[in-house]
Amino acid sequence: MEIRCKKEDCKHNTGCSCKAGHIMVDNKHHCDSYVKDPIKKELVQENGNIFETPANKIPSNLRNVPLDCKAKNCLYNKQEQCQADGITVIANDEEDEESCADCATFCAR
């Protein structure tokens, strides 16, 4: 499974690729595995998108990572396990939820 991350200040994000050992998506399709890294947050604020790398320059991150999903209305959720070929996590657009990251692969059934 390929796991892409656009949450630039997450400690698991390396070149837009998630390096977390386990991923949990909650019932509102938020990534509960997101952990804010204050140093990365400061770099993003000072320098903009510091982790933007062209897709062809990022080594593939295909690995078997447990991906639990509590979003019961997601097409890819089968018995609380994600069955998608890969996921992308993005920054939440809501300003008051700065600490949230959303699973952009979520597809309502």
Q: Note the pLDDT of residue 8.
A: 84
Q: Note the pLDDT of residue 55.
A: 47
Q: Note the pLDDT of residue 107.
A: 95
Assigned domain for 109 exists: no
Collect all residues with Cβ–Cβ distance below 8 Å to 84 and sequence separation of at least 6.
1, 76, 105
Q: Note the pLDDT of residue 9.
A: 86
Assigned domain for 94 exists: yes
Residue range(s) defining the domain that contains residue 38? 2-103
Low-confidence ranges of the chain (pLDDT < 50): 54-57, 96
Compute the distance between CA of residue 100 and CA of residue 7 in angstroms, rounded to an integer. 9
Assigned domain for 108 exists: no
Q: Note the pLDDT of residue 72.
A: 94
Q: Note the pLDDT of residue 6.
A: 87
Q: Which of 65, 83, 66 is nearest to 74 (CA)?
A: 83
- Whether pTM > 0.75 for this model: the answer is yes
The tally of domains found in the chain comes to 1
- Given a contact cutoff of 8 angstroms between Cβ atoms, the answer to whether 69 and 25 are in contact is yes
